[in-house]
Structures are given as structure tokens and as C-alpha cells.
Amino acid sequence: MEEQKIMGLSSDPDVYSKELDIAVKAVQMACSLCQKVQESLISKTKSNGQVQVQSKDDSSPVTVADWSVQAIVSWVLSEFLVSGNISILAEEDVQTLSKSNASGLLEAVVKTVNDCLAEAPSFGVKEPKSPLGTSEVLEAISRCNSTGGATGRFWVLDPVDGTLGFVRGDQYAVALALIEDGEVMLGILGCPNYPMRKEWLSYQHRYHRIISKLTPPTAETWEKGCVLYARKGSGKAWKQPVHDLDKKLVLQNCPIPVRVSSIDNPALATFCEPVEKANSSHSFTAGLAHSVGLRKQPLRLYSMVKYAAIACGDAEVFMKFAKTSYKEKIWDHAAGVIIIQEAGGVVTDAGGRQLDFSKGVYLEGLDRGIIASAGARLHEKIIEAVDASWGSSCL
Ligand SMILES: Nc1ncnc2c1ncn2[C@@H]1O[C@H](COP(=O)(O)OS(=O)(=O)O)[C@@H](OP(=O)(O)O)[C@H]1O
Ligand SMILES: [Mg+2]
Ligand SMILES: [Mg+2]
Ligand SMILES: [Mg+2]
């Protein structure tokens, strides 16, 4: 009971409470791991740093942190959720890691995983009897081979969302969700660089440097980094600080409820969108913003931190209009969608339909793009504006 209170769960029927407890702890561990890897990436000389950042077939980056987080989350869920075989659908695979010329990379992943597991007790998680061997780490990563679908229970994991932001010292997220019979039931979103003050969200690119200057570390302050979580139907979403082991900031701060903003006038809204214009049409959203009288600059943020900003009331609208040739993947959205919805917001495609997480890896049947808003009235107005602008756009 005491533990439930700490987690912020109400006295509602205990559905998913064990799963949520373990999942939040796994994401906390993942955030700690990512903070260390990001720091070492930024401080290292180019030649060292390159070992830790690889390029995938589609030229997107993947790092030691992506594989290591996938291994940690997979290991923790499988070890402590004994309800049968855990099924996980996740972004990364072991192809690159298993290549004969990747031994340095694989070693770095195994070390990062074991360093993180050695700190497991500080997160309330039992550490393994002995450090994991290479084959156990590879097995934990490759076990995440679920293909999802409309029936049964599976977890969805994006170990590092916004890897580009991560390697640039900027925003990124660790995203975990539980899907049952095609519906998102739990969402956990770790945002290790989420700032305490919303004004700091707009320090793109210079983020790391500026935050470290603005906030000399003290033992008490929660400067940056949070884990958000929500359970379907609870009508609540929660935020807790990322545990800072150096400052012994572990669960001392009880979770606080988060709620979307009450602004429903599009002209007053802050809207956020992807940083990369290759990922979403900046020109379409600029035209749309103009058409609703919105004059503020868009808040461009890497990763699902955009969903976090809406859920926390720090922004009001998120729009993503990817190229028609691109198919959105469920791990880029599941956790963020449930957290916004439970915090009082709305997320649909541009046709006003719920996103469909029941069709496997991709969000099939998506109408044009994704829109998240702080409330139903605002959402309606944005959808109307999208419809009005769409015909004259070149998308
Ligand atoms: N071409 C294209 N179009 C649209 N989206 C793409 C595209 N390529 C990749 N991705 C996915 O975008 C994820 C990065 O987050 P964002 O969409 O927020 O973009 S951005 O980083 O802010 O520019 C990113 O997630 P991660 O790979 O986890 O970083 C991708 O899944
Ligand atoms: Mg992603
Ligand atoms: Mg990713
Ligand atoms: Mg990726």
C-alpha cells in the first residue's frame, strides 16, 4: 500500500500495478544509463565518441545507449514480471552488434549494461547474481522480437527516442508502453533532460551547456529530468524526478500529478513539432499556425518530449506531418498518447480518429498526420484548420 502511494496509484483496483511499478523502475534505470552515456559522448574526443554512434541502414543514428537501454528494460521486465513469457516489440536488433568487426561496440554495450545493473538496488531492483555475459546481453536485446497485433499483451519500447537529439546533447526520451488487445494500457516516458522550467525547453542545441551553467548542482534541487507515467482509465498522469544517485535523490520526491494546459484559443497556444524538417513539414505547420492567428515561434523538440510538454501543460499543440512515404511506428507514440490522454488531452490523426496500435509495428491507416492538443475544443479547431489548409498545401 505504502509503495502504491509512492507510485501515485489511487486505491483503484490493482490492475497493472505490479507492471507499472517494475516498468517505472526500469525506465528510471534507463534514464540514469542514458545520462551517463550522453555525458561521455559529449565530453569525449571525436575519435572515441565515434565508437559509440553508429549509422543504421536508413542513415539514422544508433548508439551504445539504444542497445544498452533495450537490454536493461528487457532484462528487468523478464526477470521481475513472472506472469509468463514477456513479449516486447522494440526498435533495435542485434545485427550490427553481432558483426565480426563490432567487438569494441559490443564490449561497450555489455559494460554499460553491467554498470547500470550494479546500481539496480538503488532503484529498488534486485541486481543479477553475477554480471551478464555477452550472450545474455545479446539475448536480452534480441528477445524483443514481438510483432505486436490485435490480441494479447505486449510491451512496446523505444529505448532512445530522438537519438539525434541524444547525440547532440539535447532532448531525448525513453518510451515504454503496455498494449493489451490492441489498446495502450500503460505508458511510461523517461525524459532525462526535461527542464524544471518550461522556458528552458526552447534552448535547442545549446541545451546541455546552458542548463549546466544556469543550475549549479546542489543536493536538493530537481534541475532536470523526469519520468511521466499513466494508466488507462485512471484519469491521471504522474511525474517523478529522475533519480540522481550522486545526489541520493531516489524517490524522495513523491510523484506529482500533471495536467494539460487550459488554453483553448489556438492564437495563444504554444505548438511543438519535430526539429528535423525531414521528419515533419515545417512549412505546412507554419502556414497552419498563421491561419489560426498563432504568432509564437514553434517549439521544436526532439523525440516524445513533445508529448511530455503537452501532458505537463508546458505546450498546447503537437503536430507531425511526415512525408507520405514514411510510416509511423508504434514505439514512437504509444507511451506519449496514453500519458496525454490521461492528463486530459486529445491525440488523433488529422481525420480525428484514434491512433491504431493493433496493426503490428506501424500505425496503419493514419490520416495525414498526428495532432495532440491540450483539450477537445482546441483539438477541434486545429483539425478544422488542417482541413482548411490541406487542399492548398503541396503535401
Ligand atoms: N523520415 C522520417 N519521417 C518521420 N519520422 C521519422 C523519419 N525517420 C525517422 N523518424 C522517426 O522520428 C523519430 C524522431 O523523433 P521526431 O519525429 O520527434 O523528430 S525529430 O528528431 O525531432 O526531428 C525517430 O525516432 P528514433 O529513431 O527513436 O530517434 C524516428 O522513429
Ligand atoms: Mg523513436
Ligand atoms: Mg529510438
Ligand atoms: Mg532510431
**Residue-level pLDDT at 199:** 83
Residues at Cβ < 5 Å from ligand 2 ion: 158, 161, 332
Q: Does the C-beta of 277 come closer than 6 Å to ligand 1?
A: no
Q: Does the C-beta of 158 come closer than 6 Å to ligand 1?
A: yes
Residues 247, 299 within the same domain:
no
Within 10 A of 65 (CB to CB), how many other CB atoms are there? Answer: 28
Tell which phi-psi region holds residue 235, choosing left (phi > 0), alpha (psi between -120 and 50) or beta. left
Identify whether the C-beta of residue 171 lies closer than 8 Å to the C-beta of residue 191.
yes
239 within domain boundaries: yes
| 234, 258, 282 - which closes a domain | 258
- Which ligand is closest to the CA of 329, given by its number? 1
**Residue-level pLDDT at 254:** 81
Identify whether the C-beta of residue 230 lies closer than 8 Å to the C-beta of residue 257.
no
Q: Going from the first residue of the chain to its last (395 residues), give the mean pLDDT of each consecutive group of 10, the final group possibly shorter.
A: 43 80 97 95 64 85 97 97 86 94 94 98 96 98 98 98 95 98 98 89 63 52 85 97 73 82 97 97 96 94 98 98 97 99 98 98 97 98 95 73
Identify whether the C-beta of residue 173 lies closer than 8 Å to the C-beta of residue 158.
yes
Which position has the grid cell 515504454? 176
Tens digits of residue pLDDT in 52-87: 789 998 899 999 999 999 999 999 999 999 765 799
- Catalytic annotation present for 66: yes
| 258, 279, 304 - which closes a domain | 258
pTM: 0.93
8 within domain boundaries: yes
Query: Containing domain of residue 347, as a range?
Result: 266-390
**Residue-level pLDDT at 223:** 75
Residues 107, 217 within the same domain:
yes
Residues 233, 309 within the same domain:
no
The single residue of 112, 163, 270, 285 carrying the catalytic annotation is: 163
Residue 212's alpha-carbon distances to 169, 208, 220, 300, 359, in angstroms, are: 11, 6, 16, 21, 43
For ligand 1, atom 6, which residue shows the shortest CA distance? Answer: 279
ipTM of the complex: 0.98
Number of domains in the chain: 2
Atom of ligand 1 nearest to the CA of 58: 8
- Which ligand is closest to the CA of 305, given by its number? 1
276 is in an annotated binding site: no
Q: Does the C-beta of 278 come closer than 6 Å to ligand 1?
A: yes
Q: Does the C-beta of 10 come closer than 6 Å to ligand 1?
A: no
Distance CA 53, CA 116 (A): 19
Lateral strand order in the sheet of 183-195 = 88-90, 153-161, 173-180, 183-195, 224-231, 237-241, 256-258
DSSP code, position 314: S
Distance of CA 181 to the CA centre of its chain: 22
Q: Does the C-beta of 157 come closer than 6 Å to ligand 1?
A: no
Q: Which residues are registered as beta bridge partners of 226?
A: 191, 241
Q: For the domain that residue 317 is a member of, what is the CATH number?
A: 3.40.190.80
Longest Cα pair distance anywhere in the chain, in angstroms?
62
Centre of ligand 2 to C-alpha 301, Å, is 13
Residues 97, 16 within the same domain:
yes
Atom of ligand 1 nearest to the CA of 300: 22
Residues 226, 301 within the same domain:
no
For ligand 1, atom 19, which residue shows the shortest CA distance? Answer: 274
Residues 365, 248 within the same domain:
no
Interacting residues of 125 by C-beta distance below 8 A, sequence separation 6+: 22, 25, 26, 29, 76, 80
88 within domain boundaries: yes
Distance CA 314, CA 307 (A): 10
Residues 134, 199 within the same domain:
yes
Residue 375's alpha-carbon distances to 112, 236, 267, 308, in angstroms, are: 41, 14, 14, 15
**Residue-level pLDDT at 201:** 86
For ligand 1, atom 29, which residue shows the shortest CA distance? Answer: 162
| 258, 276, 298 - which closes a domain | 258
Residues 187, 289 within the same domain:
no
Residues 374, 304 within the same domain:
yes
395 within domain boundaries: no
**Residue-level pLDDT at 220:** 45
Residues 236, 292 within the same domain:
no
